[in-house]
Amino acid sequence: MRAAIFTGETKLSVEDVTSIEPGPNDVVVRIGASGVCHSDLSFMNGTIAMPPPCILGHEGTGIIEWAGPEVTRVKVGDHVVASFVPSCGHCFWCLNGQSNLCSLGEETMLKPKATRGDGSVAISLTGLGTFADQMTAHEASVVKVDTDLPDEQLALIGCGVTTGVGAALNTAQVTPGSSVTVIGCGGVGQAVIQGARIAGAARIIAVDPVELKRKAAEQLGATDLVDPSAGDAIAQVQALTGGRGVDYAFEVIGLPDTIVQAYEMARRGGTAVVVGMPRMDSSVTLGGFSLFYAEKKLLGCVYGSAQVRRDFPRFVELVETGRLNLADMVSRRIGLDEVNDAFRAMVAGEVIRSVITHT
Ligand code: APR
Ligand code: ZN
Ligand code: ZN
């Protein structure tokens, strides 16, 4: 099969590799489409440590071609969306309604997946590896969907959409009539904006220095736009909320400075949510007295607190009924060989999402 592999260099190597024989609980998926997410870049640039070689890609969809003898949840021919955290169904977290923290994740992450031409053995990002024409994954890492939606949209449900919409609906539980700010309007931020719109927020303030992102945000549900390069972002958000701050502030970049901004933008008694993935060695400093006196809730957010087996079908239905707009989140369709250019376009702020399509 062909796969885009992180080798420790700044560019992925797109090459022919030989799949390692799948295990009894594994499925082999023919990939239909895969989104290119900022987290893929974060594994390449050291934001999160990752031992190469590794097949990247963690946002994808496809059809099951082969299922191991112990696989029970899905079968050959099923259309599935990959879940970058597995959902085993019986660990402590799964049993407590927190399958987004499923303990099987650590095990699946390090499974060898393919042998390269030089004999080295590649693992796959989060046990997936959707930057390929084929993927071997644990059955707990895929969720069957029953829909005619195009693969280029379904792929986004695998990470960006679930993370963003889930952050609004599950993590923060945005309420009707509330005020929201979203700092960082890339693929994930746009999904937070849509989640807040679906939840019925009255005011959705999109903060991003790139005009194209602010325009997309407006189209997808933002009511107010803030350019942080045009003046202090916190002051601009406060001015829009009568000096009080917002009910819910989402940080969707992964930078300590903007996490502090989100905390500051939340009103007294409000909620700040860390959706972006900060560097492993970073830290955030907040005022001690404020932590007490402002009585804000500061929430972490892994994968939109999603219970993927419940939420993937739920999000598919929101798209099918026109409430969630994924068509306008796909900015560019590319082939696997163009994956490195997708990272360039992401950093240059040219796209909401690039999607690798195989059809
Ligand atoms: N203030 C506001 N927005 C900013 C700022 C800033 N200071 N700096 C950058 N941005 C914007 C960029 O212009 C871009 O639109 O943040 C956005 C980030 O978007 P993407 O690069 O498309 O990233 P995305 O895939 O949405 O992921 C965002 O979520 O899942 C995590 O690891 C992922 O941490 C990353 C975050
Ligand atoms: Zn992602
Ligand atoms: Zn589990």
Q: What is the pLDDT of residues 294-353, one digit of tens each?
A: 999 999 999 999 999 999 999 999 999 999 999 999 999 999 999 999 999 999 999 999
pLDDT per position as a tens digit, 143-186: 999 999 999 999 999 999 999 999 999 999 999 999 999 999 99
Mean per-residue pLDDT of the chain: 97
Ligand 1 binding pocket, CB closer than 6 Å: 37-39, 42, 160, 163, 183-189, 207-210, 213, 228, 252-254, 258, 275-277, 346, 349
Kind of pairing between the strands at 353-357 and 330-334: parallel
Cβ pair 183, 250 in contact under 8 A:
yes
Look at the block and give the residue holding tokens 């969907």. Answer: 145
Q: On the CB side of 227, how many CA atoms lie within 13 Å of its CA?
A: 7
Give ranges for CATH 3.90.180.10 in the chain. Answer: 2-158+305-357
Residue range(s) of every CATH 3.40.50.720 domain in the chain:
173-300
What are the φ/ψ torsions at residue 179 (nearest 5 degrees)? Answer: -115, 140
Tens of pLDDT, residue by residue over 329-345, are 999 999 999 999 999 99
Positive or negative: CA dihedral 26, 28, 34, 36: positive
The CATH number of domain 2-158+305-357, selected from 3.20.20.70, 3.90.180.10, 3.40.50.720, 3.90.700.10: 3.90.180.10
Q: State pTM to two decimals.
A: 0.97
Asked if pLDDT for residue 50 goes beyond 90, the answer is no
- For domain 173-300, the question of CATH label 3.40.1500.10 is answered with no
Structure tokens at 119: 């004999």
Best mutation site among 34, 36, 38, 47 for ligand 1, i.e. most ligand atoms within 8 A of its Cβ?
38
Ligand 1 atom with the shortest distance to the CA of 188: 26
